[in-house]
Structure 1
Amino acid sequence: MLDLAEINTLFARTVLEQKITGKVYTDDADNPRAYYIAHPYGMSLVLGDTGNDAFIRAVSEYITNQNGSRRTAEWLQADPAGEWTGVVDSIMASHNSAAGLDAGLQEEAGSRVIQRNTRVNFSLDRTAFSAAKKASGRQPAHPVPMTGEHFTALDQGVVPRFFWRDAAHFTAEGAGFVLLENGEIAAAAFSSCLSGGQLEIGIETMPAHRGKGCAFAASLALIEYCLDRGLESVWACRLENTGSYRLAQKLGFRPVRTLPYYRLAYET
């Protein structure tokens, strides 16, 4: 079913392939026609048939946090090829309205509201990437391959430990580059997911090194790594994440699809 989806589903695939421990819910254990796949980093995907009312009720209870068990943000994508976007929109409207969390009160409501954002999928334009590489000029430092020690040292932001079981798992099956300044990691670009000839790029710059081009340099190295090995570089982010969105375009990625991206209700 994931193979038919026209959106980036790599994070869900890594869960199904048991490369990382996540959760998979289905409408029928013997003859599944719908899935809800949750990645431990706080990303989820719902796809498939919408004809099972019991499954829709279960999804509704989950995304509205009826039992109050969700304590951190989770971001949901619905496969646009099916009818799940309409289902989730309806659940969101009902939940927000019933709780008095209409659009005018969302800021005050905080985490209890379901928010609809926009997810952007990109595709690498190789001509634009080559032009970006030529125009980049002198980089702040030379990126080096990410080691197990780097993996362990990265403990804040979007970092590999949230996408791989441990350092050994990452060094055996993943890839990444770090930019070092005075022996400290300034930025890292790494495979957050790697499957089926596709490598999704995760990127993080340490606060003290932002605005120096470090993320660009690290990402450049990882994209070149992908091109040398025949891997497709994958980039996706929230439209509202202007830093990631602009960096993608600077590197030569072009937006190819947008879809709703729901921040689910949770308790703080």
Structure 2
Amino acid sequence: MITELNKNNFYKCKSLINENGQLEGKAIIERMNPGRIFVDNPFSPKTGLIWLGNNDGFLFFGNEENDNFNKEINAFIDTVIIPEAKEVNIFWFEAMGNHPKWNQTIKNLFAHRQLKSWNQKVYQLQNNNYNVKSEPTIDQDYTVFELEKVLSENNKKQNIEFLHSKILEFWSSIEQFLNNGIGYCVIYRNQIVRICFSGFVVENYHCVNIETLSAHQGKKLAQAVAFHFVQECLKNKQIPYWDCMEENTASNIVAKNTGFTNVFDYNGYYFSFK
């Protein structure tokens, strides 16, 4: 029977996770970032499903041929996942496999649900192949600040709640982020218009998350905050990690222009709850 695993027992899943897979799953299993885990057996799990704490999808891990888990997963989604997802305005099931063998299993399990797919690209940046030396030029009305400074000032920015809400999508508290993550933002006339921060963290890997206000897109602000984020990572011997959809042309361009290298790709699958 598929059950939710108590957070104190997340460590039981550590040996099941693919070391070369997505950073997000590792961060949740290590309880650095919030998330929920559902497993076939809470005492000795063999297969599981991670619900990412930022509500950005579900990650299958472990044995993809586990009949007990696979026979129950559709009913579990219908009776547990869908009702809870709708309460937080999620109307799609977006799934990824923690290793490539899950791809065919996911296709088989959800073939009756009008399953569709997309491609995801993962980039990393190592100090020994980094060659971007100069900060991107942006309009003088925009200024880059470290998030720690902005957060310490608290409500002095017009839309500080925008920053708080984005950080809390990934972290259990602002304090937890400040203790473990890094980030920068762009200020325009006392308003936060672009942020780049650690969404997930595992050991010395920091997963980039970039958010912007639509009115300020197309001004090289993403490249500017990404530059500062990378500089901070490299200074502290940390490894920046960038995960984005292949069809997100702008994000892929910023990653490459900032010096990231594509290290692996994976498939995502989705179907509607409607």
Specify if TM > 0.5.
Answer: yes
Give TM-score, length-normalised by structure 1. Answer: 0.81
Structure 1 residue 245 corresponds to structure 2 residue 246: no
Alpha-carbon distance between aligned partners in 2 of 1:194 and 1:49, rounded to the nearest angstrom: 25
Listed one character per residue, the Cα deviations across residues 6-54 of structure 1 (whole Å, up to 9, x for unaligned) are: 222x222232233343211112222211121111222221111134322
Aligned counterpart, 2:41 = 28
1:49-95 CA-to-partner distances (Å, cap 9, x unmatched) read 134322112323355x46642331343210235x3211101123232
Which residue is equivalent to 1:153? 161
Aligned to 1:56: 70
Tell me what 1:215 maps to.
222
**Identical-residue share of aligned pairs (%):** 19
* Aligned counterpart in structure 2 of residue 86 of structure 1, from 80, 90, 104: 104
Q: 1:183 to 1:199 in 2, by over 3 A?
A: same
Alpha carbons 1:159, 1:202 under 8 Å: kept: no
1:132-143 equivalences in 2 (<5 Å) = 133-134=133-134, 137-140=136-139, 141-143=142-144
Work out the CA distance in 1 between the residues paired with 2:94 and 2:113. 16
Identify the residue that residue 100 of structure 1 maps to in structure 2: none
Q: Any unmatched runs of 5+ in structure 2?
A: 1-14
Amino acid at match of 1:254: T
The answer to whether the 8 A contact 1:12-1:44 is kept is no
Give the aligned partner of residue 272 of structure 2.
Answer: 265
Contact 1:128–1:251 (CA under 8 A) maintained in structure 2: no
SS of residue matched to 2:99 = coil
Cα contact 2:196–2:209 (8 A) shared by 1: yes
State the one-letter code of the partner of 1:91: L
For 1:202 and 1:178, how far apart are their aligned partners in 2?
11
Asked if 1 retains the 8 angstrom alpha-carbon contact of 2:18 and 2:98, the reply is no
Q: Report the equivalent of 1:77.
A: 96
Check 1:31–1:66 CA distance in 2 against 1; reply closer, same or farther (3 A cut): closer
- The count of corresponding residues between Structure 1 and Structure 2 is 244
Distance 1:47 1:193, change over 3 A: same
Q: In structure 2, how many angstroms separate the alpha carbons of the residues matched to 1:162 and 1:46?
A: 21
- Cα distance in 2, alignment partners of residues 152 and 165 from structure 1: 17
CA RMSD of aligned residues (A): 2.5
SS at match of 1:219: helix
Q: Report the CA distance shift for 1:62/1:213 in structure 2 as closer, same or farther (over 3 A).
A: farther
2:33·2:201 contact (CA, 8 Å) conserved in 1? Answer: no
1:188 aligns with 2:195: yes
* Whole-Å separation in 1 of the counterparts to 2:255 and 2:213: 18
Q: Could you tell me how far apart the structure 2 residues matched to 1:53 and 1:7 are? A: 23
TM-score when normalising by structure 2? 0.79
Using the TM superposition, give the Cα deviation of residue 210 of structure 1 relative to its aligned residue in structure 2, in angstroms: 0.5
Deviation at 1:171, TM superposition (A): 2.0
